[in-house]
Homo-oligomer: A and B are copies of this chain.
Amino acid sequence: MPEDIRKNFSSDNVVRVCPEVMQALMEANNGSASAYGNDAHTDLLNTRFGDVFETEVAVFPIVTGTASNSLALSALVSPFGSVVCDQVAHIQNDEGGAPEFFMHGAKIVTIPSPNGIMQVDALQNIIHEKKAAGLLAPPIHALSLTQTNEWGIVYQPSHLAALSDAAHAEGLSVHLDGARLGNAIASLGCAPADTTWKAGIDVLTFGGTKNGAMAAEAVVFFLNERTRPYVQDFKRRIKRSGHLWSKHRYLSVQLLALLENDLWLHNATHANDMAQRLSIGLAQHPDITLPYPTESNEIFAALPETIIDTLEKAGFGFYRWTTPPHITGTIIRLVTSFDTRAEDVDAFLSHITI
C-alpha cells in the first residue's frame, strides 16, 4: 500500500486522524481524571448523543468496530440463540469470528439478498423456518443490519423500518452496524433519528474511526423497554473483554469532537462528494462499468486489467474484489475520506485515458 495519502484509495482506515480530533486529544491532556469512564468528558456523552439523535440514549465508547458490533450483539443474543444478517455482512465475513466469541458460540444465520439490501419476506421466511425447527435450531434473538451496507448502498429509512417491524413482531431486537452511518445520513439528507430509532433500530454501532477519529466507535442504545435491560450490565461486558480504557477520557473526547458542530456529518459529506466525483469520472470511460450505484464513499468499478496496471504503476492504492463471471474486467474498490481532495481524485482519473 502506498504511504502517500494522496494516492491511497484503499480504505477509509488508512487515513490519518482529522485535525479536530487530534486537537481534542491534546486539550484533554491536562490534569488528572477518574479512570474507567468516571470522568467529566465521558459524562457528557449521553447528553451530546441524545441531542444529536433527539432521544434518550445510553452511549458506550469502544475502540474498534468489531468490538462494538460484537459487544452489542452479545447483549441481544443468548449463547444458545442466533442473530440473522445479510450474507455479505461484516459480522459474518470480516470480523475474524469476533461476534461468535463475544456471543459465546451463538450462531450467525445469513440471508442472501440483491445488492446486500435485505428483503422483508426473506427475513420473515427464515424466522419462521427456524421457529419450525424447534430445539434443533437456535432461536433467532436479533436482526443485524448495516447502513451503509457492504456495497456502499444506503437503505431507505422506510425499508429499515419495515425490516425492524418484521423483526420486532417476532420478538427480535434490531442492531445497526453504522461503521459508515454518517455517510448514509449525508447521502439521505435525513436526520440521524430517521435512519436509526425512528426506523426501529434498538442499538447502533456508531462509527467514528473511518470518519476521522483515531480509534473510537460507540455502542448507542436507544432507550426503550427492549433495550433498558441490555444497558444494565453492558459496562461489565466491556470490562470483561478488556475494552474498558483506564484513561477513558481519551476515548470519549474523540467522539465529542466528531459531534461538535456536526463535524462527523461534514466529514461524511465531503467523503461522499469526492466519491461522486470519482464515480462520475469512471463512468465516462467506455470500458469501465459500475456494478453498484455510488451512494456513499465507496465506489466499486469493473476495469480492464490494463487500466488497473497503469494505476498501480502510477502508485495508486486500492483493493481488487471478487469479480463474478458475468462481469467484464476486474472489480476494484475505491474509498474516499474526509482527507481526500478534489485534486487527488482528478489525479487518479487522469490516469484513466480513453
Contacts and interface: CB of A to CB of B under 8 A. Distances in A.
A82 to B, nearest CB: 7
Nearest to A79: B104
A120 interface: no
Interface in A42-98: 62-68, 70-71, 78-80, 82, 93-98
Contacts of A317: 32
Nearest to A96: B239
A215 interface: yes
Given A29-B17, A233-B78, A247 B215 contact: yes
A35 interface: yes
- Chain multiplicity (copies): 4
A34 B16 contact: no
A70 B13 CA distance: 27
A30 B16 contact: yes
Contact of A67 (B79, B243, B322): B243
Given A32-B8, A80-B240, A101 B105 contact: yes
Interface string A229-260: 00001011101111111110011000000000
B137 A240 contact: no
A80 B93 contact: no
Sort chain A's interface into a size bin. 35 or more
Nearest to A246: B13
Main SS at interface, chain A: loop
Contacts of A65: 246
Given A80-B96, A242-B243, 11 more contacts: A17-B247, A63-B63, A65-B246, A67-B243, A80-B97, A93-B137, A95-B136, A97-B105, A97-B240, A100-B106, A101-B104
Contacts of A106: 97, 100
A138 interface: yes
A14 B33 contact: yes
Nearest to A31: B5
Contacts of A242: 62-64, 66-68, 70-71, 95, 98, 102, 241, 243
